Chains A and B, each alone.
Chain A
Amino acid sequence: MIGYYPGCTLKTVASIFDRTAREVFRELGVELRELKNWNCCGTVYSLASDDVMHQLAPVRNLIRAKEEGYTELLTLCAMCYNTLKRANELVRRDPEVLSKINDFMYLEEVKYDGSVEVIHGFELLRELEDKIKEKVKNPLKGLKFAPYYGCLLLRPREVAIDDPEDPQYLSYLVELLGGEAIDFPYATECCGSYHTVGAKELVYQRTYEIVNLARELGADALVLSCPLCHFNLDARAKELEAERSGFEHIPVFYFTELLAHAFGLSELQLKQKGTQ
């Protein structure tokens, strides 16, 4: 059984990601059952070997999943996916860390044992390919998308959902839905991530380069799976228009919005020529 972990940002600024995902998976015959009592995953996996404390938040979510009888935990946000998956891999390969964490969380009724599998929405979609084909009513005909994976779905290699240097799944999905996926050299480039808080200039520069290249290559929109990438490539890009003459943003969509459009559940808000 699959449990669903939305994460903080899908409950706020990225609520469209959560809503379209529920609609789309329901259409494909999968009801997304949200964990009853989840907490923040921590957003970033701690890379310090002596820092077990920061592994508590992701592991606690895995306990919640186990408690409710789920064998798989589905994530959509790239950052949640990476953090939960890496914490899970860590406790699976290091029994000492696992017992330390379980000892610390002695008030939990269920002990964690590494038995829950963390998966990303793409992995579930891969299994539903035939159903997706059946459900396409409103193909993305004539639309060109730049596939954008960012970092955390592909790196490091141990948690990659696709080839870290040459991922294909997003392009494949866009084409399955009747759209065109451009060959996008910046598909795996970093957007600047959390520097959007304290070093905005860095994010502006990354956004400028990524959005400009997508536009130059003829993309009508970017398609992605990370709410932080979305914020940087969309909200920050709109701010950038005032700062750099000649720069124009392009629409940025979650992959579930493309599916919802193709299934005839909602419509993509594309930018008309000459308008904002």
Chain B
Amino acid sequence: MYVKIDHTKVKGDLVRKIEEISGVDVNRCYQCGKCSAGCPGAPFMDLLPSQVMHLLMTGRVDRVLESNTHWICASCFTCTVRCPKDIDLAGVMEAIRQIELRERKDFVRVDKLPERLNAPTIAMVSAFRKLTS
């Protein structure tokens, strides 16, 4: 029997959108796990960064969007500088956040924050830019 495996069909539109926004071809990942090993947010993530990559490669975006991984990622770029395949993982996480934010799904709800929030300007501007639409 002839079976044709076509990765463009496996990926689907959302993965292609993530690739377009981030400029990353997710199929380049060879699952070494170095990103997950060094990620300071990993203990707080539902899925490790390398698991996110694997799910994207196999088109399971729904599983990725259910997780909190892209929200926990703080763009520290540790994964990006360590990736042996030069994949900008932080860029992939940003693209996944953008997919959510463009549908008005915010991670930080400004109306739910305490009235007198003890945090400097720099923290608020960056949190609102990264985590709200």
Contacts and interface: CB of A to CB of B under 8 A. Distances in A.
A206 B40 contact: yes
A50 B125 contact: no
Contact of B107 (A13, A151, A192, A198): A198
A195 B75 contact: no
A151 B120 contact: no
A229 B118 CA distance: 15
Majority-rule SS of B interface residues: helix
B90 A13 contact: no
A81 to B, nearest CB: 12
Contacts of A196: 119, 123, 127
A13 B121 CA distance: 9
B120 A48 contact: no
Contact of A202 (B44, B98, B125): B44
A30 to B, nearest CB: 25
Instruction: Determine which residue in A7, A51, A197 has the highest number of CB atoms from chain B within 10 A of its CB, and name it.
Output: A197
Contacts of A231: 119-120, 122-123
Given A42-B129, A198-B113, A190 B78 contact: yes
Nearest to A40: B125
Contact of A49 (B21, B90, B125): B21
Contacts of B37: none
Interface in A161-196: 164-165, 188-190, 192-196
B72 A151 contact: no
Contacts of B117: 197
Contact of B94 (A48, A155, A198): A48
A193 B126 contact: yes
Instruction: Report the contact-size class of chain B (Cβ under 8 Å from the partner).
Output: 35 or more
Contact of A79 (B20, B72, B126): B126
Nearest to B107: A198
A198 B121 contact: no
A197 B128 CA distance: 9
A12 interface: yes
Nearest to A210: B40
Nearest to A44: B126
A14 interface: yes
- What 3 A-B pairs have minimum CB-CB distances, sorted nearest first? A155-B77, A190-B76, A47-B94
Interface of B: 20-23, 40-41, 43-44, 72, 74-78, 80-81, 88, 90-91, 94-95, 98, 107-108, 113, 117-131
Interface of A: 7-9, 12-14, 40, 42-44, 46-51, 54, 77, 79, 151, 154-157, 164-165, 188-190, 192-199, 201-202, 205-206, 227-228, 231, 235
